[in-house]
């Protein structure tokens, strides 16, 4: 069963062709990072316009690379939310139009579920149940995946997403955008530890908060500047990153223990962070858990993960008749 998938929730225009939910025939991504760098973040209106300009070219390349004609597609899918409303509308409109033109079923996909499904592509033998940690520029969710289409939300960020915190701290340090990879690289050179707060780490719930940590870093930087003291950027990056890692580890492994699950799945753009991967693998050895995370190219937004989610949704028979763009779509 061949799935044509479209992802356009933020600043990547992506089209993929998948077979049976786990085999990539093509996964073409047109990124807008260079465009948004000068603004220090994604500008929604600019992103929407670039999706419009790129979608047809990316679609053609995806079909050509896969060696598949439109009339050979069995399912058409696209991200319906969450994301930027204008950006979502571009992909969703394209997907619905193609599905209608070739008389095939259309499946609207939750972007968050798509991130989880990226692991099914990287690990052919991975099956639910497991604990899922979705960490990206716009999302931080801790969930229990009971089946391919059965999710229970246990925790989420109450303010900034973890990737958003990375970007804001990086901007304050003058590092540029996107901030996550830059902080990850510099943190490896850090030597001294600065005491930053582990916000909500001891709270009796699975929610997260990163705004307080971000503020603590900004206060530290401002204090150093006012005292005309040297700021060791590498130490700040290391200490900030460790504060995030500690909280993610504690909450995720606590949920896995509570639910008696031995598999933990990381996904989303921030799951590409080398320290987060390393820390989870180290903790997993101690607690006898298995850690999964997608190939680097499947961590950030891409259509392949959307195609995988669409395949399992279609197989479950839980395809919704109405598929509207919803920028605030949750689990």
Known binding positions: 111, 115, 134-138, 167, 180, 184, 273, 301
Question: Which residues contact residue 29 at a Cβ distance below 8 angstroms, ignoring those fewer than 6 apart?
Answer: 12, 13, 14, 58, 301, 302, 303
**Distance in angstroms (rounded) separating the CA atoms of residues 97 and 273:** 37
Instruction: State the first-to-last Cα distance of the chain, in angstroms, to the nearest integer.
Output: 26
Question: Which residues contact residue 176 at a Cβ distance below 8 angstroms, ignoring those fewer than 6 apart?
Answer: 37, 40, 170, 182
Residue given tokens 């149940």 in the structure block: 129
Annotated binding site for substrate: 134-138, 167, 180, 184, 273
Q: Which two tokens mark 190?
A: 């850090």
Q: How far is CA 117 from the centre of its chain?
A: 11
**Cα torsion angle, 257, 261, 267, 272, sign:** positive
**Distance in angstroms (rounded) separating the CA atoms of residues 155 and 193:** 28
**Distance in angstroms (rounded) separating the CA atoms of residues 307 and 102:** 17
3-state secondary structure of 245: helix
Q: What b/e string do you get for 69-83 counting C-beta neighbours within 10 Å, with b at 16 or more?
A: eeeebebbbbbbbbb
Question: Which residues contact residue 123 at a Cβ distance below 8 angstroms, ignoring those fewer than 6 apart?
Answer: 292
Strand order in the sheet with 263-267: 150-156, 140-147, 130-135, 263-267, 290-292
Alpha helix ranges (H) inside the chain: 33-37, 44-66, 85-102, 111-122, 162-172, 179-187, 211-226, 233-258, 274-287, 296-299, 303-316
Q: Which two tokens mark 146?
A: 């009971």
Annotated binding site for Fe cation: 111, 115, 301
Phi, psi of 149 (to 5 degrees): -125, 15
């Amino acid at each position: 069963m061949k799935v044509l998938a479209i992802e356009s929730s933020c600043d990547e225009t992506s089209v993929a062709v998948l077979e049976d939910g786990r085999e990539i025939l093509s996964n073409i991504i047109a990124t807008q990072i260079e465009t948004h760098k000068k603004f220090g973040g994604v500008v929604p209106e600019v992103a929407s316009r670039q999706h419009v300009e790129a979608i047809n070219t990316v679609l053609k390349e995806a079909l050509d690379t896969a060696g598949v004609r439109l009339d050979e597609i069995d399912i058409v899918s696209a991200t319906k939310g969450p994301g930027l409303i204008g950006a979502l509308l571009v992909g969703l409109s394209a997907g619905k139009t193609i599905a209608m033109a070739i008389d095939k079923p259309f499946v609207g996909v939750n972007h968050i579920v798509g991130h989880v499904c990226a692991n099914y592509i990287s690990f052919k033998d991975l099956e639910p149940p497991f604990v899922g940690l979705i960490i990206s520029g716009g999302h931080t969710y801790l969930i229990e995946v009971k089946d391919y289409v059965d999710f229970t939300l246990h925790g989420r960020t109450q303010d900034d997403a973890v990737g958003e915190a990375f970007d804001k701290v990086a901007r304050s340090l003058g590092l540029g955008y996107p901030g996550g990879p830059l902080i990850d690289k510099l943190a490896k050179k850090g030597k001294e530890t600065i005491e930053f707060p582990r916000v909500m780490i001891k709270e009796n719930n699975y929610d997260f908060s990163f705004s307080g940590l971000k503020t603590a870093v900004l206060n530290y930087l401002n204090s150093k500047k006012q005292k005309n003291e040297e700021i060791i950027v590498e130490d700040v990056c290391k200490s900030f990153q460790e504060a995030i890692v500690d909280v993610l580890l504690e909450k995720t492994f606590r949920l896995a223990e509570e639910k008696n699950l031995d598999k933990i799945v990381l996904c989303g753009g921030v799951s590409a962070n080398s320290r987060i991967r390393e820390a989870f693998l180290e903790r997993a050895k101690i607690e006898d858990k298995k850690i999964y995370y997608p190939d680097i190219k499947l961590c950030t937004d891409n259509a392949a993960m959307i195609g995988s989610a669409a395949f399992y949704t279609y197989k479950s028979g839980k395809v919704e008749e109405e598929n509207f763009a919803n920028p605030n779509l949750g689990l």
